[in-house]
Structure 1
Amino acid sequence: MPIYAFICTSCGHTFDKLQKLSDADPETCPSCGQATVKRQVTAPSFRLAGGGWYETDFKKDGDKKRNLVGDASSPAPAPAPAAKKDD
C-alpha cells in the first residue's frame, strides 16, 4: 500500500497516510478539523542504484542481462575537456 502526503490548506498541517489506492482521501484535517485537506504530489524517497539492478531480473539465464547502472568493475569515463573560448 502506498503512503500519501496531505496538507490542510486552512492551517498548513501536513501528514502522511498509508492507504489503498481505492480508499477515499481524508476530508477533514486531524489538527484543525476543517474540510480543506488536499493530496500533495511528492517525489519517491528511494532510488534504485548500484551494481545489482538490471533491466529486468526476470530474464531467462540464456538471455543477456544489461546492467542499468553500468559495470561496477570498470572506471567511470573521464569528463570531456572544456571548450576553449576564443576572444
Structure 2
Amino acid sequence: MPTYQYACIACDHAFEAFQSFSENPLTECPQCKGEVRKVYSTVGVVFKGSGFYKTDSVAKPAATSE
C-alpha cells in the first residue's frame, strides 16, 4: 500500500498515511481538524536493463588533464 505525506494548512502538522489507490485523499488534520494538503516529493529512479539507453545509468568518464 502506498504511503502518502500530508501537511496541515492551519497548524503545519506533517504526517504520513498508508492508503490504497482506491481510497479518497485525507481532508482533515488529526491534530487540529484543519484542512490538509498532499505533499509531493521527488523519487530517485535508475533505469537499468536491456530496454534502456546505455548512457542512462553509466558513470561519466573522468576528465583527462593534458
Match of 1:27 in 2: 27
Unaligned runs of 5+ in 2: none
Correspondence for 1:55 among 31, 39, 49: 49
Aligned length: 62
Query: Relative to total residues, which structure has the larger helix share, 1 or 2?
Result: 2
Unaligned runs of 5+ in 1: 57-65, 71-75
Query: Relative to total residues, which structure has the larger strand share, 1 or 2?
Result: 2
CA shift, 1:22, in A, is 1.2
Q: Distance in 1 between matches of 2:16 and 2:33?
A: 16
Match of 1:37 in 2: 36
Cα RMSD (Å) of the superposition? 3.0
Residues 54 and 31 of structure 1: CA distance in aligned 2, closer, same or farther (over 3 Å): same
Larger Rg: 1
CA shift, 1:69, in A, is 5.2
| Residues 36-75 of structure 1: CA deviation (Å, up to 9, x unaligned) | 110010223x666xxxx8516xxxxxxxxx8x756xxxxx
Q: Distance in 2 between matches of 1:47 and 1:5?
A: 19
Match of 2:62 in 1: 79
The normalised TM-score by structure 2 is: 0.68
Partner secondary structure for residue 12 of structure 2: coil
Q: State the identity as a percent.
A: 24
